[in-house]
């Protein structure tokens, strides 16, 4: 297979000098010991340099094993597997994961490393399912940390942003499989959001609102209900109108790439993501940014961003509002904060977007907004560090597992 030299969106060209796909943990250990600089590469869906290195890119795509422990309700997976490969396999065996991102194409290891999330008031990020992590550190030593036995290091290592080692396998907690029905509503007025934000996001297992920031409204509300437990499906949702045809969240995009809607029940893995595995998710040529604020500040933060709508909308495909439950992972954007995530899918117009992001970051600064690690942001590293109470412990963990800085890069240690 030809080696990809850019990320999925094509907005970032990797600087890695070499790309290797080892087939065993021993081979990874040998590679780490013999290379001065390296970094694991997942499915290339990040929008910034987080996955890059000037040395060797290690792809885990030959490590995709799956070992199910039905009694303990866990699965241990090779770090190269994607959610699109794992989820149907689990479903056929009667199990589910608690949540999924908007797309199934990403690797489990890459998603957990960046605190990737879906939506749902009660749903923490995807890393929350991890109960054990095995990785080769920067000196080539293999470690296994579990939630139960190593809580001190575990919560710093799972959302590790690729800087602690090469993850070789992860164990994930499972639920019994479940069915979800997804309904899309159009035109939910922001006034309603002002008074009912928690109620709107509590209306389903996973709720997403989309907006172009014009007209003081969400263009679409995607409500994913567990069935039969949450099967009530009103024709009107807080004043928004139920749709009788499938829709794509981006204007002028065909709905065939989206998971089935109109309240038709289906397996969790075919409803929780917005996009299907066999199609290009979202738009393709695009940029993404996302900021996490405490949910209690959610409407104030929405209003702050809305005040920039004349700057934002011309360069935007769509924005998405989701909720993420708090967790304990040191670098999770929802660390100890039930969060509202304000997402931007931008047109591929970086010169304009890079001027707008500082304005958004300034408006969201009073809410101590944390940017998504895998998306585009402009705030200085010192500001980033100040947003995470355990950042210095994470840096100590990096020094512990990678004392020679083989996994370091400008992303983690930007020049002052
Ligand atoms: C169309 C689209 C939709 C998206 N939707 C969502 C969404 O709904 N929610 C959300 O939160 N994010 C979303 N994202 C962002 C995406 O989830 C993250 O970029 C995620 O990290 C991508 O996983 P990946 O496998 O492509 O990892 P990569 O981008 O390749 O790598 C990400 C990080 O993980 C590290 N990594 C990967 N594998 C390993 C390993 N084996 N060991 C150690 N470190 C490793 C890399 O070094 C890097 O630091 C979306 C992105 C796109 C392009």
Q: How far apart are CA 101 and CA 208, in angstroms?
A: 11
What is the reported pLDDT for 367? 98
Q: Which of 176, 196, 216 is the last residue of a domain?
A: 176
Query: Is 129 within the bounds of a domain?
Result: yes
Contact 330, 391 (CB under 8 A): yes
Residues 345 and 264 reside in one and the same domain: yes
Phi/psi of residue 255, nearest 5 degrees: -75, -5
Residues 195 and 148 reside in one and the same domain: no
Report CA(47)–ligand 1 centroid distance (Å): 9
Residue with structure tokens 């699965």? 75
Residues 212 and 136 reside in one and the same domain: no
Closest ligand 1 atom to Cα of 39: 47
What is the reported pLDDT for 280? 73
What is the reported pLDDT for 232? 64
Query: Is 54 within the bounds of a domain?
Result: no
Residues 124 and 220 reside in one and the same domain: no
Q: Which of 176, 195, 222 is the last residue of a domain?
A: 176
Split into its structural domains, the chain has a count of: 2
Is 103 close to ligand 1, i.e. is its CB under 6 Å away? Answer: yes
Is 163 close to ligand 1, i.e. is its CB under 6 Å away? Answer: no
Is 208 close to ligand 1, i.e. is its CB under 6 Å away? Answer: no
Is 250 close to ligand 1, i.e. is its CB under 6 Å away? Answer: no
Is 59 close to ligand 1, i.e. is its CB under 6 Å away? Answer: no
Per residue in 338-355, pLDDT (tens digit) is 999 999 999 999 999 999
Residues 227 and 129 reside in one and the same domain: no
What is the reported pLDDT for 244? 86
Is 11 close to ligand 1, i.e. is its CB under 6 Å away? Answer: no
Q: Which residues of the chain have pLDDT under 70?
A: 1-2, 229-232, 279, 282-283
Is 329 close to ligand 1, i.e. is its CB under 6 Å away? Answer: no
Query: Which CATH number belongs to the domain containing residue 219 in this structure?
Result: 3.30.70.2520
Residues 74 and 94 reside in one and the same domain: yes
Contact 45, 22 (CB under 8 A): no
Q: Which of 176, 211, 227 is the last residue of a domain?
A: 176
Closest residue by CA, ligand 1 atom 20 = 111
Query: Is 26 within the bounds of a domain?
Result: no
What is the reported pLDDT for 1? 55
What is the reported pLDDT for 281? 72
Is 109 close to ligand 1, i.e. is its CB under 6 Å away? Answer: yes
Residue 356 parent element (H or E): helix 350-364
Query: Is 138 within the bounds of a domain?
Result: yes
262: region left, alpha or beta (phi > 0 left; psi from -120 to 50 alpha):
left
Q: How deeply is 15 buried, as exposed, middle or buried, from its count of CB atoms within 10 A (0-12, 13-18, 19+)?
A: middle
Is 339 close to ligand 1, i.e. is its CB under 6 Å away? Answer: no
Report CA(404)–ligand 1 centroid distance (Å): 25
Is 302 close to ligand 1, i.e. is its CB under 6 Å away? Answer: no
Query: Is 385 within the bounds of a domain?
Result: no
Residues 186 and 171 reside in one and the same domain: no
Query: Is 19 within the bounds of a domain?
Result: no
Closest residue by CA, ligand 1 atom 36 = 110
Residues 339 and 313 reside in one and the same domain: yes
Residues 120 and 253 reside in one and the same domain: no
Residues 183 and 159 reside in one and the same domain: no
What is the reported pLDDT for 2? 60
pTM given for the model: 0.96
Query: Is 389 within the bounds of a domain?
Result: no
Residues 258 and 211 reside in one and the same domain: yes
Report CA(373)–ligand 1 centroid distance (Å): 9
Closest ligand 1 atom to Cα of 101: 8
**Is 90 strand, coil or helix?**
helix
In eight-state DSSP terms, residue 308 is T
Range of the domain at 243: 179-371
CA atoms within 13 A on the CB side of 139: 9
What is the reported pLDDT for 128? 98
Residues 134 and 241 reside in one and the same domain: no
Query: Is 5 within the bounds of a domain?
Result: no
Query: Which CATH number belongs to the domain containing residue 121 in this structure?
Result: 3.30.465.10
Range list of β-strands (E), 111-235: 130-137, 142-146, 165-173, 175-176, 179-189, 206-211, 217-227
The string of DSSP codes covering 47-89 is SSGGG--SSEEEE-TT---EEEETTTTEEEEETT-BHHHHHHH
């Amino acid at each position: 297979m030809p080696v990809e030299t850019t990320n999925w969106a094509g907005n970032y060209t990797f600087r890695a000098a070499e790309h290797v796909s080892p087939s065993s943990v021993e081979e990874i250990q040998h590679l780490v010991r013999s290379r001065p600089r390296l970094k694991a590469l997942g499915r290339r869906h990040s929008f910034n340099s987080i996955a890059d290195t000037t040395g060797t890119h290690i792809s885990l795509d030959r490590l995709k094993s799956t070992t199910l422990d039905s009694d303990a309700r866990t699965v241990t997976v090779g770090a190269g597997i994607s959610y699109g490969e794992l989820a149907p396999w689990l479903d056929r065996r009667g199990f589910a994961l608690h949540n999924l991102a908007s797309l199934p194409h990403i690797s489990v290891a890459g998603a957990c490393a960046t605190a990737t999330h879906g939506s749902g008031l009660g749903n923490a990020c995807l890393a929350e399912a991890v109960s054990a992590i095995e990785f080769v550190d920067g000196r080539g030593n293999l470690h296994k940390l579990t939630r139960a036995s190593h809580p001190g290091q575990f919560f710093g290592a799972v959302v590790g942003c690729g800087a602690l080692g090469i993850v070789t396998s992860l164990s994930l907690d499972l639920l019994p499989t479940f069915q979800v029905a997804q309904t899309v509503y159009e035109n939910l007025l922001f006034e309603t959001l002002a008074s009912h934000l928690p109620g709107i996001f509590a209306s389903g297992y996973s709720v997403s609102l989309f907006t172009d920031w014009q007209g003081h409204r969400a263009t679409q509300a995607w409500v994913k209900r567990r069935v039969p437990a949450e099967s009530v499906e009103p024709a009107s949702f807080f004043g928004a109108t139920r749709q009788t045809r499938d829709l794509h969240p981006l204007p002028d995009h065909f709905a065939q790439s989206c998971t089935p809607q109109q309240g038709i029940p289906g397996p969790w893995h075919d409803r929780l993501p917005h996009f299907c595995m066999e199609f290009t998710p979202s738009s393709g040529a695009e940029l993404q940014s996302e900021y996490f604020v405490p949910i209690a500040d959610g409407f104030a933060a929405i209003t702050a961003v809305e005040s920039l709508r004349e700057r934002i909308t011309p360069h935007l495909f769509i924005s998405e509002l989701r909720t993420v439950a708090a967790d304990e992972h040191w670098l999770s954007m929802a660390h100890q904060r039930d969060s509202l995530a304000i997402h931007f899918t931008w047109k591929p117009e970086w010169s304009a977007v890079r001027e707008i992001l500082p304005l958004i970051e300034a408006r969201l600064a009073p809410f101590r907004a944390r940017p998504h690690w895998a998306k585009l942001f402009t705030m200085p590293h010192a500001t980033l560090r100040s947003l995470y109470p355990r950042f210095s412990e994470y840096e100590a963990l990096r020094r512990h597992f990678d004392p020679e800085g083989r996994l370091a890069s400008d992303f983690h240690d930007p020049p002052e």
